[in-house]
Amino acid sequence: MKRAFLCFLMLLPAALLAAGKPWFQGTLEQAQAAAKSQNKMLVLKFYADW
């Protein structure tokens, strides 16, 4: 199981890199509501302008 997960970790980034960036369009509250209703994890990326 652990080996399968490690393989998954090794292979998935390449696939992810090849894909686009499907970022949620909306406010934090809307993203939280979407995560709850879809029973998905929420990944919040905070960045700044500088």
Chain positions contacting another protein, by CB under 8 A:
5, 8-10, 12-17, 19-24, 26, 28, 31-32, 34-36, 38-50
- Dihedral sign for Cα 30, 50, 22, 4, please: negative
* CA dihedral of 30, 45, 36, 4, whole degrees rounded to 10: 150
We find the least distance from the C-beta atom of residue 30 to another protein, in angstroms, to be 9
What does the chain come to in residues?
Answer: 50
For the bound state, the minimum distance from the C-beta of residue 34 to another protein, rounded and expressed in Å, comes to 5
State in angstroms the smallest separation of the CB of 33 from another protein. Answer: 9
